[in-house]
Amino acid sequence: MKLHAFFVYGLGLFIAFISSAILVASGMGTMAWAKQVPVRSVIAPLPQHLRDTGLFVAGSTTEVQAQNLAFSPQYPLWSDGAAKRRWFYLPPGTSIDASKPDAWDFPAGTRLWKEFSFEGRRVETRLIERLADRSWRYSVYVWNEEGTDAVLAPKSGISALPVSVAPNGRYAVPSESDCRACHEGAAVPPLGLSVLQLSPDRDPLAVHADPVSLATNNLSSLAARGLIRKLPKDLLTNPPRIAASSPEERAALGYLHGNCGQCHNNNESEAGAAVPVGLLLAQKVGRSEPGSASSEQVLHTLINGPSRYRPPGTQGDAKVIVPGRSDLSVLVLRMKSRNPQMQMPPLGTEIPDAEGIALIERWINKL
Ligand code: HEC
Ligand code: HEC
């Protein structure tokens, strides 16, 4: 158990103990006492088994509880070709406050799961929770070969889990600090349960996306059920879509948003972890002044944008994207590389995403 979790848990028990002692000593009623002292919640340690996290119906490791809603981001993250399923849970009577459309506020008790599998063999299921003190907690459960049980992985992850169906026969389970590197670089940790990712105006050219039939929980349906509140009305009547000069450009910018935008953004992140380079790859929807489309700002940093990184062996100034020349564009070179000093994204994959790269190259070569 992490020392911090132990401390919080231990402290909570201690406070509970002291408070009952005071209650007994003073003879005060519970209600009167509760009004004077802020409620402290006890944060339970992580369950050792996925089945105890509330994902499945009791006694099952396949049947998802009806209260957990499936969702499917239109621009998914590439993870070496793993198939993914995702669900979220909000405590009864709570909802997401979307008044800041690019930084949704999730209620305490929110849970989000993502399951990874290769050829039908489940490998891991990740969990993000918002705790009672509004902090975020990350964990991973690793499935056994038979698919009958998934057990909590160590915080340091597992660098090479043998999985015969995974590429190269092994699989890297990320560490908790890897989770935070991606999830806390964005404005708020949930990345796929967000405004552009859940737009009902789905991009037909998006790479690796689920079919529309699997994306029934979207902005409009969740708003209609009262699970998302205060989303600016124009985003419901006119669902978000990346402004672009061609369908290919829209899909390319969407790919970069989904796979890179969690780090390359100008958000004021809760954890303040955004990347220290000028390259902006995240799209925002919360702006409506003419000429200020988020995609224009992204394109401005991309096209002929100076790159601080110079690929080994190249001469002169490197550029993030050289129009018409994907072969000279640092963005593409870094996406293709799996040299740890150079590869982008820097973590979460062992093999480059051929389909994603092909889309980006087609787009750049037509610029
Ligand atoms: C390389 C960056 C990266 C790393 C590392 C990473 N994630 Fe994610 N994660 C994402 C992105 C991007 C999404 C949304 C897109 C998708 O699901 O395809 C996501 C989605 C999720 C979701 C679904 C909820 C959501 O945010 O949309 C969960 C749960 C999740 N990740 C948990 C974890 C945990 C736990 C870890 C660490 C063990 C982790 N992730 C590591 C990038 C990352
Ligand atoms: C986990 C966070 C993270 C993710 C995800 C990520 N990057 Fe990066 N990126 C960085 C950091 C940190 C740097 C600066 C250090 C360096 O150059 O390696 C960087 C630098 C770069 C640079 C060089 C910019 C310059 O001015 O030199 C490019 C190009 C780039 N990233 C492209 C991408 C692309 C394309 C993706 C998605 C396919 C991506 N990155 C995903 C963290 C990330």
Distance CA 344, CA 360 (A): 13
- CA of residue 14 to ligand 1 center, whole Å: 35
Task: Say which amino acid occupies 179.
Answer: C
Per-residue pLDDT 10s for the chain (367 aa) are 333 433 333 333 333 333 333 333 333 333 333 344 444 567 889 999 999 999 999 999 999 999 999 999 999 999 999 999 999 999 999 999 999 999 999 999 999 999 999 999 999 999 999 999 999 999 999 999 999 999 999 999 999 999 999 999 999 999 999 999 999 999 999 999 999 999 999 999 999 999 999 989 999 999 999 999 999 999 999 999 999 999 999 999 999 999 999 999 987 655 555 566 789 999 998 655 555 678 999 999 999 999 999 888 777 889 999 999 999 999 999 999 999 999 999 999 999 999 999 999 999 999 9
**Backbone phi, then psi, for 121, in 5-degree steps?**
-90, 115
- CA of residue 344 to ligand 2 center, whole Å: 6
pLDDT at res. 269: 52
134: left (phi over 0), alpha (psi -120 to 50) or beta: left
- CA of residue 305 to ligand 1 center, whole Å: 28
Query: How many angstroms from the chain centroid is the CA of residue 360?
Result: 22
175 token code pair: 């560490």
Kindly identify the ligand whose nearest atom is closest to the C-alpha of 339.
2
Nearest atom, ligand 2, residue 341 CA: 18
- CA of residue 281 to ligand 2 center, whole Å: 9
**Ligand 1 pocket mutation, candidates 183, 193, 349, criterion most atoms within 8 A of CB:** 183
Distance CA 239, CA 195 (A): 9
Q: Does ligand 1 come within 6 angstroms of the Cβ of 128?
A: yes
pLDDT at res. 27: 34
Protein residue whose Cα sits closest to atom 32 of ligand 1: 126
Residue pair 73/192 in contact (Cβ under 8 Å)? The answer is yes
- CA of residue 298 to ligand 2 center, whole Å: 14
Residue pair 207/363 in contact (Cβ under 8 Å)? The answer is no
Residues within a 6 A CB radius of ligand 2: 181-182, 185, 256, 259-260, 262-264, 275, 277, 279, 307-309, 320, 330-331, 334-335, 344-347
> Other C-beta atoms within 10 Å of 293: how many?
18
From 228, 274, 261, 5, select the one nearest 135 (Cα to Cα): 5
Q: Does ligand 1 come within 6 angstroms of the Cβ of 73?
A: yes
Residue pair 202/74 in contact (Cβ under 8 Å)? The answer is yes
Residue pair 245/296 in contact (Cβ under 8 Å)? The answer is no
Nearest atom, ligand 2, residue 320 CA: 29
In angstroms, the Cα distances linking 21 to 24, 27, 286 are 5, 10, 51
- CA of residue 277 to ligand 2 center, whole Å: 8
Distance CA 44, CA 31 (A): 24
Distance CA 337, CA 351 (A): 9
- CA of residue 182 to ligand 2 center, whole Å: 11
Nearest atom, ligand 2, residue 330 CA: 29
> Other C-beta atoms within 10 Å of 216: how many?
12
- CA of residue 11 to ligand 1 center, whole Å: 30
Nearest atom, ligand 2, residue 331 CA: 29
Contacts of 147 (CB under 8 A, 6+ apart): 61, 121, 122
What burial letters (b/e) apply to 252-279, b meaning 16+ CB within 10 Å?
A: bbbbbbbbbbbbbbebebeeebbbeeeb
- Residue for token digits 């100076």? 306
Instruction: Give Dmax (Cα) for the chain.
Output: 80
Note every long-range contact of 48-52, with CB atoms under 8 Å and residues 24 or more positions apart, other chains counting. Answer: 48/151, 48/152, 49/141, 49/149, 49/150, 49/151, 49/152, 50/125, 50/127, 50/141, 50/149, 50/150, 50/151, 51/149, 51/150
Protein residue whose Cα sits closest to atom 26 of ligand 1: 190
Kindly identify the ligand whose nearest atom is closest to the C-alpha of 179.
1
pLDDT at res. 188: 96
Distance CA 144, CA 156 (A): 19
